[in-house]
Protein backbone atom coordinates (compact mmCIF):
# COMPACT_ATOMS: atom_id res chain seq x y z
CA UNK A 1 0.00 0.00 0.00
CA UNK A 2 1.18 3.51 -0.75
CA UNK A 3 1.53 5.89 2.16
CA UNK A 4 -0.97 8.72 2.39
CA UNK A 5 1.77 11.28 1.69
CA UNK A 6 2.88 9.42 -1.46
CA UNK A 7 -0.72 9.42 -2.70
CA UNK A 8 -1.05 13.14 -1.93
CA UNK A 9 2.23 13.96 -3.67
CA UNK A 10 1.12 12.18 -6.85
CA UNK A 11 -2.22 13.88 -6.76
CA UNK A 12 -0.86 17.40 -6.87
CA UNK A 13 -2.15 18.53 -10.24
CA UNK A 14 0.68 18.89 -12.74
CA UNK A 15 0.64 20.17 -16.25
CA UNK A 16 2.55 17.32 -17.76
CA UNK A 17 3.25 18.98 -21.09
CA UNK A 18 4.78 22.21 -19.85
CA UNK A 19 6.50 20.86 -16.73
CA UNK A 20 8.42 18.33 -18.81
CA UNK A 21 8.34 15.22 -16.64
CA UNK A 22 11.62 13.42 -17.26
CA UNK A 23 9.84 10.18 -18.12
CA UNK A 24 7.56 11.73 -20.71
CA UNK A 25 9.24 10.25 -23.78
CA UNK A 26 8.17 11.16 -27.28
CA UNK A 27 10.32 8.65 -29.17
CA UNK A 28 10.21 4.88 -29.49
CA UNK A 29 12.97 2.57 -28.28
CA UNK A 30 14.75 0.27 -30.71
CA UNK A 31 18.07 -1.38 -29.91
CA UNK A 32 18.79 1.03 -27.07
CA UNK A 33 18.21 4.14 -29.25
CA UNK A 34 15.31 6.57 -28.88
CA UNK A 35 14.09 6.89 -32.45
CA UNK A 36 11.30 8.28 -34.61
CA UNK A 37 9.41 6.42 -37.33
CA UNK A 38 11.35 5.79 -40.55
CA UNK A 39 8.55 7.64 -42.34
CA UNK A 40 8.94 10.63 -40.03
CA UNK A 41 5.24 10.39 -39.16
CA UNK A 42 3.89 10.99 -35.68
CA UNK A 43 0.53 10.84 -33.93
CA UNK A 44 -0.95 12.62 -30.95
CA UNK A 45 -1.70 10.99 -27.63
CA UNK A 46 -4.85 12.54 -26.21
CA UNK A 47 -6.07 13.13 -22.67
CA UNK A 48 -9.60 11.66 -22.77
CA UNK A 49 -10.82 13.78 -19.87
CA UNK A 50 -9.76 17.07 -21.44
CA UNK A 51 -9.52 16.28 -25.16
CA UNK A 52 -6.08 17.89 -25.04
CA UNK A 53 -2.82 16.65 -26.57
CA UNK A 54 -0.53 15.04 -23.99
CA UNK A 55 2.37 14.24 -26.33
CA UNK A 56 3.32 13.29 -29.86
CA UNK A 57 4.96 9.93 -30.57
CA UNK A 58 6.25 8.09 -33.68
CA UNK A 59 3.63 6.52 -35.93
CA UNK A 60 5.61 3.43 -36.81
CA UNK A 61 4.83 0.73 -39.35
CA UNK A 62 6.08 -2.68 -40.46
CA UNK A 63 9.45 -1.26 -41.55
CA UNK A 64 10.17 0.05 -38.03
CA UNK A 65 8.81 -3.15 -36.50
CA UNK A 66 11.25 -5.16 -38.58
CA UNK A 67 14.12 -3.18 -37.04
CA UNK A 68 12.80 -3.80 -33.54
CA UNK A 69 12.46 -7.52 -34.26
CA UNK A 70 16.02 -7.65 -35.54
CA UNK A 71 17.26 -5.83 -32.42
CA UNK A 72 15.42 -8.29 -30.15
CA UNK A 73 16.82 -11.24 -32.13
CA UNK A 74 20.39 -9.92 -31.91
CA UNK A 75 20.06 -9.20 -28.20
CA UNK A 76 18.69 -12.70 -27.59
CA UNK A 77 21.99 -14.26 -28.64
CA UNK A 78 23.60 -12.85 -25.49
CA UNK A 79 20.64 -12.28 -23.12
CA UNK A 80 19.76 -15.99 -23.12
CA UNK A 81 23.17 -16.70 -21.63
CA UNK A 82 23.11 -14.04 -18.94
CA UNK A 83 22.94 -15.98 -15.69
CA UNK A 84 19.62 -16.30 -13.95
CA UNK A 85 21.09 -14.44 -11.02
CA UNK A 86 22.18 -11.49 -13.17
CA UNK A 87 18.81 -11.35 -14.92
CA UNK A 88 17.23 -11.33 -11.49
CA UNK A 89 19.47 -8.46 -10.33
CA UNK A 90 18.65 -6.36 -13.41
CA UNK A 91 14.91 -6.94 -12.99
CA UNK A 92 15.21 -5.95 -9.35
CA UNK A 93 16.99 -2.73 -10.34
CA UNK A 94 14.21 -2.01 -12.81
CA UNK A 95 11.65 -2.67 -10.07
CA UNK A 96 13.45 -0.28 -7.70
CA UNK A 97 13.42 2.50 -10.30
CA UNK A 98 9.77 1.86 -11.10
CA UNK A 99 8.97 2.24 -7.40
CA UNK A 100 11.06 5.41 -7.09
CA UNK A 101 9.26 6.92 -10.07
CA UNK A 102 5.75 5.63 -9.33
CA UNK A 103 4.23 9.07 -8.90
CA UNK A 104 5.48 10.32 -12.22
CA UNK A 105 4.39 7.17 -14.04
CA UNK A 106 0.94 7.41 -12.43
CA UNK A 107 0.65 11.05 -13.52
CA UNK A 108 1.51 10.10 -17.10
CA UNK A 109 -0.96 7.22 -16.97
CA UNK A 110 -3.80 9.40 -15.73
CA UNK A 111 -3.12 11.92 -18.48
CA UNK A 112 -3.28 9.41 -21.31
CA UNK A 113 -5.90 6.98 -19.97
CA UNK A 114 -8.14 9.19 -17.83
CA UNK A 115 -7.78 6.75 -14.92
CA UNK A 116 -8.28 8.44 -11.52
CA UNK A 117 -4.87 9.17 -10.01
CA UNK A 118 -5.43 6.94 -7.00
CA UNK A 119 -6.17 4.04 -9.34
CA UNK A 120 -3.16 4.86 -11.50
CA UNK A 121 -0.97 4.66 -8.42
CA UNK A 122 -2.67 1.40 -7.51
CA UNK A 123 -1.98 0.05 -10.98
CA UNK A 124 1.67 1.07 -10.84
CA UNK A 125 2.02 -0.73 -7.51
CA UNK A 126 0.23 -3.77 -8.95
CA UNK A 127 2.36 -3.71 -12.11
CA UNK A 128 5.61 -3.24 -10.20
CA UNK A 129 4.80 -6.30 -8.15
CA UNK A 130 5.11 -8.42 -11.32
CA UNK A 131 8.62 -7.13 -11.97
CA UNK A 132 9.54 -7.84 -8.36
CA UNK A 133 7.95 -11.29 -8.50
CA UNK A 134 9.65 -12.29 -11.74
CA UNK A 135 12.99 -10.94 -10.54
CA UNK A 136 12.64 -13.61 -7.86
CA UNK A 137 11.23 -16.30 -10.16
CA UNK A 138 14.16 -15.82 -12.59
CA UNK A 139 16.33 -17.87 -10.23
CA UNK A 140 13.88 -20.75 -9.92
CA UNK A 141 13.42 -21.83 -13.53
CA UNK A 142 14.69 -25.27 -12.67
CA UNK A 143 15.05 -28.42 -14.74
CA UNK A 144 14.62 -32.07 -13.82
CA UNK A 145 16.71 -35.23 -13.85
CA UNK A 146 14.48 -38.22 -14.41
CA UNK A 147 15.35 -41.89 -13.68
CA UNK A 148 15.97 -43.61 -16.99
CA UNK A 149 14.53 -47.05 -17.83
CA UNK A 150 18.01 -48.08 -19.09
CA UNK A 151 21.17 -48.11 -16.99
CA UNK A 152 23.21 -46.65 -19.83
CA UNK A 153 21.13 -43.48 -20.12
CA UNK A 154 20.43 -40.38 -18.12
CA UNK A 155 17.43 -38.09 -18.81
CA UNK A 156 17.73 -34.34 -18.33
CA UNK A 157 14.93 -31.84 -18.82
CA UNK A 158 15.99 -28.20 -18.92
CA UNK A 159 13.76 -25.15 -19.33
CA UNK A 160 15.08 -22.82 -21.99
CA UNK A 161 13.86 -19.42 -23.25
CA UNK A 162 11.86 -19.70 -26.48
CA UNK A 163 13.50 -16.65 -28.08
CA UNK A 164 12.44 -13.07 -28.89
CA UNK A 165 8.78 -12.44 -28.14
CA UNK A 166 6.16 -9.87 -29.10
CA UNK A 167 4.13 -8.35 -26.29
CA UNK A 168 0.98 -6.57 -27.45
CA UNK A 169 -0.71 -4.70 -24.62
CA UNK A 170 -4.02 -2.87 -24.02
CA UNK A 171 -4.95 0.64 -22.95
CA UNK A 172 -6.92 -0.32 -19.85
CA UNK A 173 -3.81 -1.32 -17.85
CA UNK A 174 -0.98 0.56 -19.61
CA UNK A 175 1.60 -0.43 -16.98
CA UNK A 176 0.52 -3.71 -15.38
CA UNK A 177 0.00 -5.68 -18.59
CA UNK A 178 3.48 -4.76 -19.83
CA UNK A 179 4.98 -5.59 -16.44
CA UNK A 180 3.18 -8.96 -16.29
CA UNK A 181 4.50 -9.99 -19.71
CA UNK A 182 7.91 -8.29 -19.80
CA UNK A 183 8.79 -9.40 -16.25
CA UNK A 184 8.10 -13.05 -17.11
CA UNK A 185 9.73 -13.00 -20.53
CA UNK A 186 12.94 -11.31 -19.38
CA UNK A 187 13.18 -13.59 -16.35
CA UNK A 188 12.95 -16.59 -18.68
CA UNK A 189 15.78 -15.24 -20.85
CA UNK A 190 13.66 -13.94 -23.74
CA UNK A 191 14.01 -10.51 -25.34
CA UNK A 192 10.96 -8.56 -26.45
CA UNK A 193 9.27 -6.14 -28.79
CA UNK A 194 6.49 -4.32 -26.98
CA UNK A 195 3.61 -2.80 -28.92
CA UNK A 196 1.49 -0.74 -26.50
CA UNK A 197 -2.03 0.35 -27.38
CA UNK A 198 -2.21 3.53 -29.45
CA UNK A 199 -4.23 5.28 -26.72
CA UNK A 200 -1.60 4.75 -24.02
CA UNK A 201 1.98 4.48 -25.35
CA UNK A 202 3.48 6.98 -22.89
CA UNK A 203 3.39 4.73 -19.82
CA UNK A 204 5.16 2.05 -21.88
CA UNK A 205 7.88 4.47 -22.97
CA UNK A 206 8.39 5.68 -19.40
CA UNK A 207 8.82 2.07 -18.26
CA UNK A 208 11.29 1.43 -21.08
CA UNK A 209 13.37 4.47 -20.06
CA UNK A 210 13.62 3.06 -16.54
CA UNK A 211 14.57 -0.37 -17.89
CA UNK A 212 17.40 1.33 -19.75
CA UNK A 213 18.40 3.26 -16.61
CA UNK A 214 18.44 -0.04 -14.72
CA UNK A 215 21.08 -1.35 -17.11
CA UNK A 216 18.95 -3.84 -19.03
CA UNK A 217 21.06 -4.25 -22.19
CA UNK A 218 20.13 -2.66 -25.49
CA UNK A 219 17.73 -4.63 -27.64
CA UNK A 220 16.39 -6.70 -24.76
CA UNK A 221 13.35 -4.40 -24.52
CA UNK A 222 12.17 -2.57 -27.62
CA UNK A 223 9.02 -0.45 -27.76
CA UNK A 224 7.32 0.52 -31.00
CA UNK A 225 4.45 3.01 -31.12
CA UNK A 226 1.83 3.35 -33.81
CA UNK A 227 -1.56 4.82 -34.43
CA UNK A 228 -4.60 2.57 -34.91
CA UNK A 229 -4.34 2.33 -38.69
CA UNK A 230 -0.88 0.70 -38.65
CA UNK A 231 -1.68 -1.72 -35.83
CA UNK A 232 -2.91 -4.56 -38.13
CA UNK A 233 0.26 -4.62 -40.28
CA UNK A 234 2.47 -4.47 -37.17
CA UNK A 235 0.51 -7.23 -35.45
CA UNK A 236 0.70 -9.40 -38.55
CA UNK A 237 4.45 -9.00 -38.85
CA UNK A 238 4.97 -9.76 -35.16
CA UNK A 239 2.93 -12.96 -35.57
CA UNK A 240 4.54 -14.04 -38.83
CA UNK A 241 8.20 -13.05 -38.51
CA UNK A 242 10.32 -16.19 -38.20
CA UNK A 243 12.53 -14.30 -35.76
CA UNK A 244 9.72 -13.99 -33.22
CA UNK A 245 9.22 -17.15 -31.18
CA UNK A 246 6.05 -16.24 -29.35
CA UNK A 247 3.33 -13.65 -29.00
CA UNK A 248 1.54 -12.57 -25.86
CA UNK A 249 -1.56 -10.45 -26.30
CA UNK A 250 -4.04 -8.87 -23.91
CA UNK A 251 -7.02 -7.23 -25.56
CA UNK A 252 -10.26 -7.90 -27.35
CA UNK A 253 -11.40 -11.39 -28.30
CA UNK A 254 -11.86 -10.27 -31.92
CA UNK A 255 -8.23 -9.14 -32.29
CA UNK A 256 -6.99 -12.15 -30.28
CA UNK A 257 -8.60 -14.50 -32.80
CA UNK A 258 -6.88 -12.73 -35.71
CA UNK A 259 -3.48 -12.97 -34.00
CA UNK A 260 -4.09 -16.64 -33.14
CA UNK A 261 -4.77 -17.38 -36.79
CA UNK A 262 -1.72 -15.41 -37.92
CA UNK A 263 0.49 -17.34 -35.49
CA UNK A 264 -0.73 -20.68 -36.83
CA UNK A 265 1.40 -20.68 -39.95
CA UNK A 266 4.63 -20.51 -37.97
CA UNK A 267 3.18 -22.80 -35.25
CA UNK A 268 4.10 -20.00 -32.91
CA UNK A 269 3.69 -19.97 -29.15
CA UNK A 270 0.81 -17.68 -28.19
CA UNK A 271 -0.58 -16.42 -24.91
CA UNK A 272 -3.97 -14.73 -25.07
CA UNK A 273 -5.80 -12.85 -22.35
CA UNK A 274 -9.03 -11.78 -24.00
CA UNK A 275 -12.43 -10.39 -23.15
CA UNK A 276 -14.57 -11.56 -20.25
CA UNK A 277 -18.26 -11.51 -19.41
CA UNK A 278 -18.05 -12.03 -15.66
CA UNK A 279 -21.12 -13.16 -13.75
CA UNK A 280 -21.41 -11.80 -10.22
CA UNK A 281 -23.70 -14.22 -8.42
CA UNK A 282 -25.35 -13.24 -5.13
CA UNK A 283 -27.25 -15.99 -3.30
CA UNK A 284 -30.01 -15.42 -0.73
CA UNK A 285 -27.69 -16.43 2.12
CA UNK A 286 -24.91 -13.96 1.16
CA UNK A 287 -23.70 -11.11 3.31
CA UNK A 288 -25.19 -8.28 1.25
CA UNK A 289 -22.89 -5.61 2.66
CA UNK A 290 -19.89 -7.60 1.49
CA UNK A 291 -21.55 -8.33 -1.83
CA UNK A 292 -22.19 -4.64 -2.49
CA UNK A 293 -18.65 -3.75 -1.45
CA UNK A 294 -17.25 -6.41 -3.81
CA UNK A 295 -19.60 -5.31 -6.59
CA UNK A 296 -18.39 -1.72 -6.33
CA UNK A 297 -14.73 -2.73 -6.60
CA UNK A 298 -15.28 -5.21 -9.37
CA UNK A 299 -17.61 -3.02 -11.43
CA UNK A 300 -16.14 0.44 -11.04
CA UNK A 301 -12.39 -0.28 -11.10
CA UNK A 302 -11.15 1.70 -14.09
CA UNK A 303 -14.72 2.80 -14.82
CA UNK A 304 -15.70 -0.80 -15.61
CA UNK A 305 -13.03 -1.06 -18.30
CA UNK A 306 -11.36 -4.25 -17.14
CA UNK A 307 -11.64 -7.78 -18.50
CA UNK A 308 -12.50 -9.07 -15.03
CA UNK A 309 -15.20 -6.45 -14.30
CA UNK A 310 -18.49 -7.91 -13.13
CA UNK A 311 -20.62 -7.76 -16.26
CA UNK A 312 -23.85 -9.50 -15.26
CA UNK A 313 -25.14 -9.29 -11.69
CA UNK A 314 -27.16 -12.43 -11.02
CA UNK A 315 -29.14 -11.88 -7.83
CA UNK A 316 -31.35 -14.49 -6.18
CA UNK A 317 -35.06 -13.66 -5.90
CA UNK A 318 -35.34 -13.02 -2.16
CA UNK A 319 -32.49 -10.48 -1.99
CA UNK A 320 -32.85 -8.92 -5.45
CA UNK A 321 -34.66 -5.72 -4.44
CA UNK A 322 -32.50 -5.18 -1.38
CA UNK A 323 -29.26 -5.66 -3.31
CA UNK A 324 -30.38 -3.28 -6.06
CA UNK A 325 -31.41 -0.63 -3.57
CA UNK A 326 -28.16 -1.00 -1.61
CA UNK A 327 -25.91 -0.73 -4.66
CA UNK A 328 -27.86 2.29 -5.97
CA UNK A 329 -27.42 4.05 -2.61
CA UNK A 330 -23.72 3.19 -2.43
CA UNK A 331 -23.11 4.45 -5.95
CA UNK A 332 -24.90 7.73 -5.24
CA UNK A 333 -22.95 8.37 -2.06
CA UNK A 334 -19.47 7.16 -3.02
CA UNK A 335 -18.82 7.62 -6.74
CA UNK A 336 -17.40 10.94 -7.91
CA UNK A 337 -17.24 11.62 -11.65
CA UNK A 338 -14.59 13.94 -13.07
CA UNK A 339 -11.07 14.49 -14.33
CA UNK A 340 -8.84 11.75 -12.95
CA UNK A 341 -6.16 14.18 -11.88
CA UNK A 342 -8.49 15.42 -9.12
CA UNK A 343 -7.76 13.29 -6.05
CA UNK A 344 -11.45 12.94 -5.13
CA UNK A 345 -12.53 11.51 -8.46
CA UNK A 346 -13.37 7.81 -8.65
CA UNK A 347 -14.98 7.66 -12.10
CA UNK A 348 -12.98 9.05 -15.00
CA UNK A 349 -13.85 9.17 -18.69
CA UNK A 350 -14.14 6.19 -20.99
CA UNK A 351 -11.00 5.79 -23.05
CA UNK A 352 -12.20 7.05 -26.44
CA UNK A 353 -15.20 7.86 -28.63
CA UNK A 354 -15.52 4.29 -29.76
CA UNK A 355 -15.88 3.00 -26.21
CA UNK A 356 -18.32 5.78 -25.43
CA UNK A 357 -20.50 4.76 -28.39
CA UNK A 358 -20.40 1.10 -27.36
CA UNK A 359 -21.54 1.78 -23.79
CA UNK A 360 -24.22 4.27 -24.84
CA UNK A 361 -25.59 1.92 -27.51
CA UNK A 362 -25.75 -0.99 -25.06
CA UNK A 363 -27.69 1.06 -22.52
CA UNK A 364 -29.98 2.61 -25.14
CA UNK A 365 -30.71 -0.81 -26.61
CA UNK A 366 -31.60 -2.23 -23.18
CA UNK A 367 -33.84 0.73 -22.34
CA UNK A 368 -35.58 0.54 -25.72
CA UNK A 369 -36.33 -3.13 -25.01
CA UNK A 370 -37.81 -2.44 -21.57
CA UNK A 371 -34.92 -2.23 -19.10
CA UNK A 372 -35.59 -0.02 -16.09
CA UNK A 373 -32.96 2.63 -15.26
CA UNK A 374 -32.53 2.73 -11.48
CA UNK A 375 -29.58 5.16 -11.54
CA UNK A 376 -27.77 7.04 -14.34
CA UNK A 377 -28.49 5.78 -17.83
CA UNK A 378 -26.98 8.55 -19.93
CA UNK A 379 -23.87 10.43 -20.91
CA UNK A 380 -22.51 12.92 -18.36
CA UNK A 381 -21.67 15.73 -20.79
CA UNK A 382 -21.01 18.37 -18.19
CA UNK A 383 -17.71 16.61 -17.43
CA UNK A 384 -16.66 16.09 -21.06
CA UNK A 385 -17.74 14.08 -24.09
CA UNK A 386 -16.37 10.72 -22.89
CA UNK A 387 -18.08 10.52 -19.51
CA UNK A 388 -20.96 8.14 -18.82
CA UNK A 389 -23.05 8.15 -15.66
CA UNK A 390 -22.63 5.13 -13.39
CA UNK A 391 -25.80 3.20 -14.21
CA UNK A 392 -27.97 0.44 -12.78
CA UNK A 393 -30.40 -1.44 -15.02
CA UNK A 394 -33.10 -3.95 -14.03
CA UNK A 395 -35.88 -5.76 -15.96
CA UNK A 396 -33.23 -7.34 -18.16
CA UNK A 397 -34.30 -9.80 -20.84
CA UNK A 398 -32.28 -12.15 -23.02
CA UNK A 399 -32.87 -10.18 -26.22
CA UNK A 400 -30.95 -7.18 -24.84
CA UNK A 401 -27.33 -6.85 -25.96
CA UNK A 402 -26.21 -6.20 -22.35
CA UNK A 403 -27.35 -9.74 -21.48
CA UNK A 404 -24.56 -11.35 -23.47
CA UNK A 405 -21.95 -8.70 -24.33
CA UNK A 406 -18.98 -7.40 -22.40
CA UNK A 407 -19.91 -3.80 -21.48
CA UNK A 408 -16.53 -2.27 -20.53
CA UNK A 409 -18.22 0.66 -18.86
CA UNK A 410 -19.82 1.71 -15.54
CA UNK A 411 -23.08 -0.17 -16.02
CA UNK A 412 -24.56 -2.60 -13.47
CA UNK A 413 -26.91 -5.07 -15.16
CA UNK A 414 -29.11 -6.88 -12.60
CA UNK A 415 -30.72 -10.20 -13.52
CA UNK A 416 -32.97 -12.20 -11.21
CA UNK A 417 -32.62 -15.96 -10.68
CA UNK A 418 -34.58 -18.56 -8.68
CA UNK A 419 -32.16 -21.32 -7.75
CA UNK A 420 -28.53 -22.46 -7.97
CA UNK A 421 -28.98 -24.34 -11.23
CA UNK A 422 -30.56 -21.35 -12.93
CA UNK A 423 -27.70 -19.14 -11.73
CA UNK A 424 -25.16 -21.57 -13.18
CA UNK A 425 -27.07 -21.84 -16.45
CA UNK A 426 -27.14 -18.07 -16.91
CA UNK A 427 -23.54 -17.63 -15.74
CA UNK A 428 -22.19 -20.26 -18.11
CA UNK A 429 -24.24 -19.36 -21.19
CA UNK A 430 -21.40 -17.37 -22.74
CA UNK A 431 -18.37 -18.16 -24.86
CA UNK A 432 -16.27 -16.07 -22.48
CA UNK A 433 -14.71 -17.64 -19.41
CA UNK A 434 -12.35 -15.27 -17.65
CA UNK A 435 -13.55 -14.32 -14.15
CA UNK A 436 -16.66 -15.05 -12.09
CA UNK A 437 -17.73 -13.98 -8.60
CA UNK A 438 -19.90 -15.80 -6.08
CA UNK A 439 -21.33 -14.45 -2.84
CA UNK A 440 -22.65 -17.16 -0.54
CA UNK A 441 -22.29 -18.12 3.11
CA UNK A 442 -22.99 -21.79 2.44
CA UNK A 443 -19.62 -23.53 2.16
CA UNK A 444 -21.02 -26.53 0.29
CA UNK A 445 -22.64 -24.20 -2.20
CA UNK A 446 -19.36 -22.31 -2.62
CA UNK A 447 -17.56 -25.55 -3.52
CA UNK A 448 -20.30 -26.76 -5.86
CA UNK A 449 -20.71 -23.47 -7.68
CA UNK A 450 -17.05 -22.52 -8.00
CA UNK A 451 -16.35 -25.94 -9.50
CA UNK A 452 -19.22 -25.72 -12.00
CA UNK A 453 -18.52 -22.18 -13.16
CA UNK A 454 -16.82 -22.37 -16.56
CA UNK A 455 -14.33 -19.59 -15.82
CA UNK A 456 -10.58 -19.48 -15.28
CA UNK A 457 -10.84 -17.47 -12.04
CA UNK A 458 -13.50 -17.32 -9.33
CA UNK A 459 -13.75 -14.77 -6.54
CA UNK A 460 -15.67 -16.16 -3.58
CA UNK A 461 -17.04 -13.39 -1.36
CA UNK A 462 -14.35 -11.22 -2.98
CA UNK A 463 -14.55 -8.67 -5.79
CA UNK A 464 -10.85 -8.00 -6.35
CA UNK A 465 -8.95 -11.13 -7.28
CA UNK A 466 -6.00 -9.82 -9.31
CA UNK A 467 -2.63 -10.35 -7.67
CA UNK A 468 0.86 -11.25 -8.83
CA UNK A 469 0.98 -14.49 -6.87
CA UNK A 470 -2.10 -15.99 -8.56
CA UNK A 471 -2.45 -17.44 -12.06
CA UNK A 472 -4.45 -15.01 -14.19
CA UNK A 473 -6.24 -16.33 -17.28
CA UNK A 474 -9.37 -17.68 -18.84
CA UNK A 475 -11.02 -20.63 -20.54
CA UNK A 476 -13.21 -20.87 -23.66
CA UNK A 477 -12.77 -17.74 -25.82
CA UNK A 478 -11.22 -15.74 -22.98
CA UNK A 479 -7.77 -16.98 -23.69
CA UNK A 480 -4.90 -19.39 -23.58
CA UNK A 481 -2.19 -19.59 -20.94
CA UNK A 482 -1.73 -18.05 -17.52
CA UNK A 483 0.01 -14.85 -16.47
CA UNK A 484 1.54 -14.00 -13.10
CA UNK A 485 2.33 -16.68 -10.48
CA UNK A 486 5.05 -19.25 -11.12
CA UNK A 487 3.04 -20.40 -14.17
CA UNK A 488 3.55 -17.01 -15.84
CA UNK A 489 6.99 -18.15 -16.98
CA UNK A 490 5.61 -21.11 -18.95
CA UNK A 491 4.65 -19.09 -22.05
CA UNK A 492 8.28 -18.07 -22.46
CA UNK A 493 10.13 -21.35 -22.01
CA UNK A 494 10.25 -24.70 -23.72
CA UNK A 495 11.34 -27.95 -22.16
CA UNK A 496 14.45 -29.41 -23.70
CA UNK A 497 15.03 -33.13 -23.24
CA UNK A 498 18.69 -34.14 -23.30
CA UNK A 499 19.44 -37.84 -23.28
CA UNK A 500 22.94 -38.82 -22.18
CA UNK A 501 23.64 -42.27 -23.60
CA UNK A 502 26.29 -44.96 -23.41
CA UNK A 503 27.06 -44.11 -19.81
Binding site for ligand SIN (CB under 6 A): 172-173, 176, 250, 273, 306-308, 466, 472
| Residues 309 and 271: beta-carbon distance below 8 Å | no
| Residues 453 and 468: beta-carbon distance below 8 Å | no
C-beta of 97: minimal distance to ligand SIN in Å? 22
* For ligand SIN, the closer CB: 35 or 176: 176
Q: Which contiguous run of DSSP H or E holds residue 95?
A: helix 84-100
* For ligand SIN, the closer CB: 42 or 302: 302
Can you list the positions of beta strands (E) in 296-410?
Answer: 310-316, 372-375, 391-394
* For ligand SIN, the closer CB: 67 or 301: 301
Instruction: Quote the CA–CA distance of 306 and 59 in Å, as a whole number.
Output: 26
* For ligand SIN, the closer CB: 201 or 304: 304
* For ligand SIN, the closer CB: 305 or 391: 305
Instruction: Quote the CA–CA distance of 235 and 244 in Å, as a whole number.
Output: 12
Instruction: Quote the CA–CA distance of 180 and 133 in Å, as a whole number.
Output: 9
State the residue number with the nearest CB to ligand SIN: 466
DSSP 8-state symbol, 390 = -
Task: Catalogue the active-site residues.
Answer: 273, 307
Give the SS3 label for residue 371.
coil
C-beta of 202: minimal distance to ligand SIN in Å? 19
* For ligand SIN, the closer CB: 377 or 459: 459
* For ligand SIN, the closer CB: 241 or 309: 309
| Residues 322 and 479: beta-carbon distance below 8 Å | no
Instruction: Quote the CA–CA distance of 176 and 129 in Å, as a whole number.
Output: 9
C-beta of 123: minimal distance to ligand SIN in Å? 9
Instruction: Quote the CA–CA distance of 288 and 439 in Å, as a whole number.
Output: 8
C-beta of 344: minimal distance to ligand SIN in Å? 24
* For ligand SIN, the closer CB: 58 or 433: 433
Give the rounded distance of the alpha carbon of 258 from its chain centre: 19
C-beta of 414: minimal distance to ligand SIN in Å? 22
| Residues 458 and 255: beta-carbon distance below 8 Å | no
- Radius of gyration (C-alpha) of the chain in whole angstroms: 23
Q: Is the dihedral of CA 467, 470, 471, 473 positive or negative?
A: negative
Name 149's Cβ contacts closer than 8 Å, sequence gap at least 6.
Answer: none
DSSP 8-state symbol, 216 = P
Q: Report how far apart, in Å, the C-alpha atoms of 167 and of each of 190, 222, 249 are.
A: 11, 10, 6
Instruction: Quote the CA–CA distance of 339 and 387 in Å, as a whole number.
Output: 10
C-beta of 173: minimal distance to ligand SIN in Å? 5
Dihedral, CA atoms, 381, 199, 342, 334, nearest 10 degrees? 70
| Residues 349 and 458: beta-carbon distance below 8 Å | no
DSSP 8-state symbol, 377 = -
Amino acid sequence: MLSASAVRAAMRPRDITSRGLHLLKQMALINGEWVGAASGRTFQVMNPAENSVVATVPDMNAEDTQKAIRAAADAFTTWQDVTAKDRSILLRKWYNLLVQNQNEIATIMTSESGKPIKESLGEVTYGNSFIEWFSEEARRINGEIIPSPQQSKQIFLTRQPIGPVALITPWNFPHAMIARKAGASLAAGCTCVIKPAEDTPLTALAMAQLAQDAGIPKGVINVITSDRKNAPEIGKLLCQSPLIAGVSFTGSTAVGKILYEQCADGVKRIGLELGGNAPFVVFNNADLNKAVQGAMVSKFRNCGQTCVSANRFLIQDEVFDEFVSMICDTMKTTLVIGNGKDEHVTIGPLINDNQMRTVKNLVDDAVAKGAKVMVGGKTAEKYGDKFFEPTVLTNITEDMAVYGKEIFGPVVVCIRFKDEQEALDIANCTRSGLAAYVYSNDIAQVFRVSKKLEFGMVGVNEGLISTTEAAFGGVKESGIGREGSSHGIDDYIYIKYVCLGNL
